[in-house]
């Protein structure tokens, strides 16, 4: 199929996937932060079943794999990401216990109480934090853990410009204390909460995009969708540098303590 036959929608998604495939992480995070979040999880063995939901190309998944011994299923909606995920897993000789599948996070292929750990870095917002932590609860064994990172406000009040930006981008952004209450209400013991350091955004997410953007704009010179995508990313980075004392990503770790129903 040539580009003229594709719908704009399809072309948009392909471009977005190509852009984000060129960088190691598709959201803010770092190997150190993944390891820190893992340090709160104490029930894992080589029999453990782990799901990494919205795994992208697997930046954080391979870190989890190198620091645990169980089986990990990476889940992502986009085949381009999952293809790269499985290539990365193979390159690290992890293919026997780290496997990526294309699937939506609102229709997960797991049995009730099958999983020991649900992981999701910077991805639960796709169905919303509250819905995600509630819907995924049934897939965890009693005593299993959930570890998700999520955009959160650091203060009760903030400048109107950044408030508006986030209310359009993700209205569910909220304060850390409100997110912890939601974890508790969804049937987990809140085990730990910590703010991702700024280097997760700057060194690991925005800085690698600078050269990726230049290459991307050269390849798609004159393509409005590509230009808009880069413009949006640059705008988002600028807002972060300006307003980073008001918001960031926060890791929330909870432990399931009651059975389903
Ligand atoms: C901000 S990226 C984070 C990727 C990765 N966890 C990381 O931190 O580098 C969000 C991911 O969610 C995936 N995603 C979006 N909607 C999804 C859905 N409905 N089901 C599963 N994955 C989805 C995207 O393809 C993308 O890989």
Average pLDDT per 10 consecutive residues for the chain, totaling 261 residues: 51 87 92 98 95 97 97 96 97 98 98 98 98 98 98 98 96 98 98 98 94 94 92 95 98 92 63
Number of domains in the chain: 1
Is 210 part of a structural domain of the chain? Answer: no
User: 198: which residues sit within 8 A by CB, 6+ positions away?
Assistant: 244, 248
Residue 41 falls inside a structural domain: yes
Residue 149 CB contacts under 8 Å (≥ 6 apart), including other chains: 27, 28, 29, 33, 37, 120, 121, 122, 196, 249, 250, 251, 252
Residues flanking ligand 1, CB < 6 Å: 25-27, 29, 54-56, 59-60, 75-78, 81, 104-106, 121-123, 126
Q: Are strands 115-121 and 188-195 parallel, antiparallel or unpaired?
A: unpaired
Minimal-distance CA residue to ligand 1 atom 27: 56
129 alpha carbon to ligand 1 midpoint, in Å?
A: 13
Is the residue at 16 inside a domain? no
The pLDDT value recorded for residue 190 is 98
CA–CA distance, 144 with 71 (Å, rounded to integer)? 14
Q: Give a yes or no: residue 261 inside a domain.
A: no
User: Which ligand 1 atom is at minimum distance from the Cα of 24?
Assistant: 9
**Which range marks the domain in which residue 172 is found?**
28-197+247-256
Taking the C-alpha atoms of 130, 229, 31 and 255 in order, what is their torsion angle to the nearest 10 degrees?
Answer: 10
Residue 213 domain flag: no
Q: What pLDDT sits at residue 43?
A: 83
Residue 1 is predicted with a pLDDT of 41
Residue 208 domain-assigned (yes or no) = no
Query: In a mutational test of the pocket of ligand 1, which residue from 24, 123, 128 has the highest number of ligand atoms less than 8 Å from its CB?
Result: 123
pLDDT number for residue 2 = 44
Q: Which atom of ligand 1 is nearest to the CA of 149?
A: 8
Backbone angles phi, psi at 23, to 5 degrees: -120, 155
pTM given for the model: 0.94
89: domain CATH number is 3.40.50.150
In a domain, 98, yes or no: yes
222 inside domain? no
Q: How far is CA 230 from the centre of its chain?
A: 20
* Residue 62 confidence (pLDDT): 98
pLDDT of residue 12: 85
Choice from 77, 83, 118, 236 to test ligand 1 binding pocket (greatest atom count within 8 A of CB)? 77
pLDDT for the residue numbered 6: 55
E strand map for the chain: 49-53, 71-76, 98-102, 115-121, 140-153, 174-175, 188-195, 247-256
Residue with the smallest CA separation from ligand 1 atom 19 is 104
């Amino acid at each position: 199929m040539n580009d003229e036959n594709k719908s704009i929608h399809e072309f948009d998604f392909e471009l977005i996937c190509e852009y984000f495939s060129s960088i190691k992480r598709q959201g803010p995070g770092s190997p150190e932060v993944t390891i820190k979040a893992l340090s709160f999880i104490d029930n894992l063995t080589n029999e453990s079943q782990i799901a990494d939901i919205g795994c992208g190309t697997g930046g954080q998944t391979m870190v989890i794999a190198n620091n645990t011994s169980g089986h990990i299923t990476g889940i992502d909606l986009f085949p381009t990401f999952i293809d790269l995920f499985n290539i990365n897993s193979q390159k690290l000789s992890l293919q026997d216990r780290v496997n990526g599948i294309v699937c939506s996070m609102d229709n997960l292929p797991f049995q009730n109480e099958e999983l020991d750990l649900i992981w999701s870095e910077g991805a639960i917002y796709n169905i919303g934090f509250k819905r995600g932590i509630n819907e995924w609860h049934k897939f965890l064994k009693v005593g299993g853990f959930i570890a998700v990172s999520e955009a959160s406000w650091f203060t009760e009040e903030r400048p109107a410009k950044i408030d508006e930006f986030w209310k359009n981008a993700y209205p569910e952004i909220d304060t850390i204390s409100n997110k912890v209450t939601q974890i508790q209400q969804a049937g987990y013991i809140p085990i730990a909460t910590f703010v991702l350091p700024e280097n997760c955004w700057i060194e690991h997410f925005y800085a690698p995009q600078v050269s990726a953007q230049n290459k991307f704009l050269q390849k798609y010179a004159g393509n409005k969708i590509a230009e808009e995508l880069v413009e949006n990313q640059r705008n988002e980075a600028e807002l972060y540098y300006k307003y980073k004392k008001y918001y960031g990503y926060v890791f929330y770790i909870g432990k399931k303590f009651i059975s389903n129903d």
